[in-house]
Amino acid sequence: MTKSVAVGALLLLWETAPRLGLVDRTFLPPFSEVAHAWWGLAADGRLADNTRASLVRSFSGFGLAVALAVPLGLLIGWYRPVADLLGPLLEVFRNTAALALLPVFVLLLGIGETSKISIVVYACTWPILLNTISAVRNVDPTLLKLAKSMALPAPRLFQKVILPSAVPVMFTGIRLAGAVSILVLVAAEMIGAKAGLGYLINASQYNFAIPQMYAGIITISAIGVAFNQFLVAVERRLSSWRVPADG
């Protein structure tokens, strides 16, 4: 209820501030005008087409990053020789912003789908990888000693102890990557794309269709919230064995 009140207050402020002259409505039109523009984009199919293009790119890159970073993070977190070997490379690339490398991806892979999906994979890999490594290294030592005392083989140790204990921290990285996958892609689409929400926002701003620009921004925000809620639901499902802190 409190969240709904906060959102409603924000929308009311957005509607009234331009009408009262508190802000220039040329650059921040009332929310009703933005909603009308959003409905117009939805009615003529442009919103669906651009949203579909962005979602395919974003979810493809996100899925590939999860498939790559989770196993690699488990490996680096558990086997010290692998961590020692790859540590220097991780330190170099983790501190290199994805968007700073966008021109490199475009030069090497072109301006098509491959470069856009690849930049999403790169950006999403780091929060997942680093959180997975941290999750494995911080598994309760008492649980590990108990499992080893039962002579559990390595695969069973991973399945029964390490993975369940690591899920919450891993999903922190996955949820961060979910947000990153959308934000980085939108920025990439603003530079070189003929479809996508980033392209829609950039084209609307260039043509001074300001309500349509805000409609695209709202759509991105809604997708981000929905995707985060989906990941929270998956995390709860995978962590259903945990006892609540207040229980």
Neighbours of 242 (CB within 10 A): 13
For the segment 164-188, what is each residue's pLDDT rounded down to a tens digit? 778 888 888 998 998 889 888 888 8
Average confidence (pLDDT) over 122-147: 82
Confidence of residue 245 (pLDDT cuts 50, 70, 90): very low
- Please provide the size of the chain in residues: 247
Lowest mean pLDDT among 84-93, 101-110, 153-162, 202-211: 153-162
Average confidence (pLDDT) over 119-124: 91
Q: pTM value? A: 0.82
Average confidence (pLDDT) over 18-39: 91
| pLDDT at residue number 49 | 92
Average confidence (pLDDT) over 65-81: 87
Rg (Cα) of the chain, in Å, rounded? Answer: 22
Separation between Cα atoms, residue 118 and residue 114, nearest integer Å? 6
Residue 242: pLDDT above 70?
A: no
Separation between Cα atoms, residue 86 and residue 3, nearest integer Å? 43
Residue 207: pLDDT above 80?
A: yes
CB 177 within 8 Å of CB 122: no
Would you say the C-alpha torsion 157, 67, 190, 11 has a positive or negative sign? negative
The answer for residues whose C-beta is within 8 angstroms of residue 68's C-beta and 6 or more apart is 121, 125
